[in-house]
Chain A
Amino acid sequence: MATLVFSSSLLLSSPPSKFSSPSLSPLLPRFSLSRSSALSSSLSITPSSLTYPTPSKRFALSALSVRASAEVKKKVLIVNTNSGGHAVIGFYFAKQLLGSGHEVTILTVGEESSDKMKKPPFNRFSEIVSAGGKTVWGDPAEVGKVVGGAAFDVVLDNNGKDLDAVRPVIDWAKSSGVKQFLFISSAGIYKLTDELPHVEGDVVKADAGHVGVEKYIAEVFGIWAIFRPQYMIGSGNNKDCEEWFYDRIVRDRPVPIPGSGMQLTNISHVRDLSSMLTLAVEKPDAANSRIFNCVSDRAVTLDGMTRLCAQAAGRPVNIVHYDPKAVGIDAKKAFPFRNMHFYAEPRAAKDILGWQGTTNLPEDLKERFDEYVKIGRDKKPITFEIDDKILESLKVPVAV
């Protein structure tokens, strides 16, 4: 649950003033938030002033309703991808739900015996089982069969990128009486504009696969919510993120960054994504028919991320900028992030769910670096073919 943060603001007693201050009159709804009033009055420090609950009404309301609906336990099914950057979302979400007392089944695409299951987070699924969750494997097109005819209150599809992949899950969910459908989409579907950030409601690329899914969910499902993430870090991640930087930093290699290095991106700790999803499960009505940018509330530049990784590693860093076209390499293969501004803000989640981000890149990256070293990846022999090509080409003076 989000922590209550009080500013040290002292509130004034209602002055006999010329200007209107309707908010100072004692309104019934305010007094009914008795729990939060009690909390705040214990922190007030001016005996002579009349104090009002300092937390914003929005937060106080959500604090109460989180308590209320956290009492209702749900049966949740997570249909999870078997690879890629989003795989870790289902892992954290499952554990958080289990920690809150909900029942969780996680259906991973494919076979339990596949090589893919040897990688994180799948090789840590015992943590889900020991927390009381169920793990099954199969084809999402046959989801009903795979879950053995079990019934669920909530389904999260954290797998499909287009309607072909997700429709069977949506249709089955609807027909089997699932009440709430959640979908992990992508902030990559926003149309690029000169203005940032991407905000929920902004125009998306009509031909994007995820968009087709979003539209279909909105058409057929009663209670639904859609989540658009960007990049994430966190233990159990299936795809490299910060590791790309550490690989170069610990080996004292220059870090080649395409373009100016000023491009903004959003790198969240996956626990933030998980907490947003959990809030949606616990506040289905508030979250209903809403799109949420599933990201932390800070952007970082590509150069900035590099610097933060170096600081986390306690080592110096040499950033080198290059133009992928001039070097003749595919930027997608050379670098793990989009070579452009790619920045969404979690405004809907903050506004509607009272969600608060906890990602703290400087701190989180230190933890990630500790694990990087612990598993011996700093000693692993790695070849840097593309890097070498880039660095080679930069030694040649560029004719203007």
Chain B
Amino acid sequence: MGGTRFIGVFLSRLLVKEGHQVTLFTRGKAPITQQLPGESDKDFVDFSSKILHLKGDRKDYEFVKSSLSAEGFDVVYDINGREAEEVEPILDALPKLEQYIYCSSAGVYLKSDLLPHFETDAVDPKSRHKGKLETESLLTSKGVNWTSLRPVYIYGPLNYNPVEEWFFHRLKAGRPIPIPNSGVQITQLGHVKDLARAFIQVLGNEKASRQVFNISGDKYVTFDGLARACAKAGGFPEPEIIHFNPKEFDFGKKKAFPFRDQHYFASIDKAKSVLGWKPEFDLVEGLADSYNLDFGRGTFRKAADFSTDDLILGKSLVLQS
């Protein structure tokens, strides 16, 4: 389900390469295939000739049920599912389904003073990602063979969430990087290609049956450190970092910074030891991959918007770092 925006773009290629027959269920709003930066013409043509498309709206449950049962799939990769009710028609359509592989989120974990988050930790039924939690619970209750991956922050070329892009815009413009509060908050980024590989590794893997795995990078990083890593990755000089107190500003609906203002990171030990998977990109390498194949070529999803930065920089009250 999905497959034409970010994670699925990389995952579908790996699946096709492995010889599976892959169908992307999307509304068709984005092109079914787009040549990736760095992808050879030959590879792209090969991929395009093999990938199949099922056009539809996954919120149209009747259509989902009828179209999927007509095709009869062995495995479902649900990359863009948000609510539990979206899963029901899929399961109803495919009674012989061998595996339901779900892209969940580490956002389901209950905020804690004890970190990192492990798969066994308490989850937050009130979180913004409760739909993901409810989906995982539904899968458990249905008796189907399922696997759920919980990424933290995903990054890489074609990222539509302005994670690295947010930093690159400012670095390119030679602007200081405004970071809320102390800048020592710790986050974690995972490269989309490593996530795609993890999705491959759970396919048909009995060790992944009914298991949840945190999938992200091997190391965590502070907000300040991430700004520096982005600079390194893009060949920019070390950035000027300005710390500010978000409580002193009214940004309206705009986000002044793309990350949750808290520690947020998860252990990937389980995936490493159970699946034998491990991330191939370290942070600076991964950010360089994203920069060289995307932002550095002049492409980005969101245009630069420095309005919140200007509010911060303009105000005389700034916290000293």
Q: A residues within 8 Å of B by Cβ?
A: 7-12, 15, 17-21, 23-24, 52, 56, 58, 193-197, 199, 259-260, 262-264, 297-301, 303-305, 307-308, 341, 345, 347, 350-351, 361, 400
Task: Find out whether the CB atom of A301 lies under 8 angstroms from the CB atom of B263.
Answer: yes
Question: Which chain A residue has the least Cβ–Cβ distance from B184?
Answer: A262
- Additional pairs, 8, CB under 8 Å, beyond known A195-B220, A259-B182, A300-B114: A9-B211, A12-B209, A17-B74, A19-B20, A21-B206, A23-B207, A56-B274, A194-B222
Question: Which chain A residue has the least Cβ–Cβ distance from B265?
Answer: A196
Give the total number of A-B pairs whose CB atoms are below 8 A apart.
107
Question: Which chain A residue has the least Cβ–Cβ distance from B99?
Answer: A12
A-B CB contact pairs (8 Å), 9 listed: A7-B210, A9-B209, A18-B19, A21-B205, A23-B206, A194-B228, A262-B182, A263-B184, A304-B113
A193, A262, A345 pick with most chain B CB within 10 angstroms: A262
Residues of B within 8 A of A10 (CB): 209-210
B181 at the A interface (CB under 8 A): yes
Task: Find out whether the CB atom of A195 lies under 8 angstroms from the CB atom of B225.
Answer: yes
Residues of B within 8 A of A12 (CB): 98, 145, 206, 209
Min Cβ gap A317→B in Å is: 13
Contact partner, A308, options B113, B145, B273, Cβ 8 Å: B113
Residues of A within 8 A of B269 (CB): 297, 347, 350
Q: Is the interface of A mostly helix, strand, loop or mixed?
A: loop
Question: Which chain A residue has the least Cβ–Cβ distance from B225?
Answer: A194
Min Cβ gap B262→A in Å is: 9
Bound Cα distance A8, B211 (Å): 9
Task: Find out whether the CB atom of A56 lies under 8 angstroms from the CB atom of B114.
Answer: no
Which residues, 194 to 231 on B, are CB-close (under 8 Å) to A?
Answer: 203-207, 209-211, 218-222, 224-226, 228-229
Contact partner, A19, options B115, B203, B221, Cβ 8 Å: B203
Min Cβ gap B100→A in Å is: 13
Question: Which chain B residue has the least Cβ–Cβ distance from A398?
Answer: B320
Task: Find out whether the CB atom of A262 lies under 8 angstroms from the CB atom of B263.
Answer: yes
Contact partner, B220, options A11, A197, A400, Cβ 8 Å: A197
Task: Find out whether the CB atom of B263 lies under 8 angstroms from the CB atom of A195.
Answer: no
Asked if A304 meets B114 with Cβ closer than 8 Å, knowing A194-B225, A195-B283, the reply is yes
Task: Find out whether the CB atom of A264 lies under 8 angstroms from the CB atom of B206.
Answer: no
Contact partner, B219, options A7, A9, A58, A197, Cβ 8 Å: A197
Task: Find out whether the CB atom of B211 lies under 8 angstroms from the CB atom of A7.
Answer: yes
Min Cβ gap B9→A in Å is: 21
Question: Which chain A residue has the least Cβ–Cβ distance from B219?
Answer: A195
Residues of A within 8 A of B19 (CB): 18
Which residues, 271 to 292 on B, are CB-close (under 8 Å) to A?
Answer: 272-274, 283
Asked if A264 meets B145 with Cβ closer than 8 Å, knowing A21-B204, A196-B219, A298-B114, the reply is no
Question: Which chain B residue has the least Cβ–Cβ distance from A52?
Answer: B206
Residues of A within 8 A of B115 (CB): 264, 298-300
A10, A194, A262 pick with most chain B CB within 10 angstroms: A194
Contact partner, B229, options A194, A196, A299, A350, Cβ 8 Å: A194
Bound Cα distance A196, B220 (Å): 5
B317 at the A interface (CB under 8 A): yes
Bound Cα distance A300, B263 (Å): 11
Q: How large is the interface on B (under 10, 10 to 19, 20 to 34, 35 or more residues)?
A: 35 or more
Bound Cα distance A193, B228 (Å): 11
Task: Find out whether the CB atom of B206 lies under 8 angstroms from the CB atom of A299.
Answer: no
Bound Cα distance A263, B267 (Å): 18
Bound Cα distance A299, B269 (Å): 15
Which residues, 153 to 206 on B, are CB-close (under 8 Å) to A?
Answer: 181-182, 184-186, 203-206
Asked if A17 meets B182 with Cβ closer than 8 Å, knowing A195-B283, A197-B220, A264-B263, the reply is no
Residues of A within 8 A of B272 (CB): 351
Task: Find out whether the CB atom of B210 lies under 8 angstroms from the CB atom of A20.
Answer: no
Q: B residues within 8 Å of A by Cβ?
A: 18-21, 74-75, 98, 113-116, 145, 181-182, 184-186, 203-207, 209-211, 218-222, 224-226, 228-229, 263, 267, 269, 272-274, 283, 316-317
Task: Find out whether the CB atom of A299 lies under 8 angstroms from the CB atom of B116.
Answer: yes
Bound Cα distance A75, B259 (Å): 54
Question: Which chain A residue has the least Cβ–Cβ distance from B96?
Answer: A15
Min Cβ gap A302→B in Å is: 10
Asked if A299 meets B114 with Cβ closer than 8 Å, knowing A347-B269, A350-B269, the reply is yes
Task: Find out whether the CB atom of B273 lies under 8 angstroms from the CB atom of A56.
Answer: yes
Min Cβ gap B210→A in Å is: 4
Task: Find out whether the CB atom of B184 lies under 8 angstroms from the CB atom of A260.
Answer: yes
Task: Find out whether the CB atom of B182 lies under 8 angstroms from the CB atom of A260.
Answer: yes
Residues of B within 8 A of A304 (CB): 113-114
Question: Which chain B residue has the least Cβ–Cβ distance from A359?
Answer: B114
Min Cβ gap A207→B in Å is: 24
Min Cβ gap A13→B in Å is: 10
Residues of B within 8 A of A263 (CB): 184
Min Cβ gap A26→B in Å is: 12
Task: Find out whether the CB atom of B113 lies under 8 angstroms from the CB atom of A17.
Answer: no
Question: Nearest 4 CB-CB pairs, A to B?
Answer: A194-B225, A304-B113, A260-B182, A195-B219
Contact partner, A17, options B98, B207, B267, Cβ 8 Å: B98
Residues of A within 8 A of B220 (CB): 195-197
Residues of B within 8 A of A299 (CB): 114-116
Residues of B within 8 A of A264 (CB): 115, 186, 263
Bound Cα distance A15, B205 (Å): 11
Bound Cα distance A6, B106 (Å): 22
Bound Cα distance A89, B29 (Å): 62
Question: Which chain B residue has the least Cβ–Cβ distance from A350?
Answer: B269
Bound Cα distance A336, B75 (Å): 54
Task: Find out whether the CB atom of B116 lies under 8 angstroms from the CB atom of A400.
Answer: no
Residues of A within 8 A of B267 (CB): 297, 345
Task: Find out whether the CB atom of A307 lies under 8 angstroms from the CB atom of B273.
Answer: no
B116, B206, B273, B274 pick with most chain A CB within 10 angstroms: B206
Min Cβ gap B72→A in Å is: 13
B113, B184, B205, B219 pick with most chain A CB within 10 angstroms: B113
Residues of B within 8 A of A23 (CB): 205-207
Task: Find out whether the CB atom of A11 lies under 8 angstroms from the CB atom of B113.
Answer: no
Bound Cα distance A22, B114 (Å): 38
Residues of A within 8 A of B181 (CB): 260
A19, A58, A263, A298 pick with most chain B CB within 10 angstroms: A19
Bound Cα distance A56, B213 (Å): 15
Residues of B within 8 A of A19 (CB): 18, 20, 75, 203-204
Question: Which chain A residue has the least Cβ–Cβ distance from B182?
Answer: A260
Min Cβ gap A300→B in Å is: 6
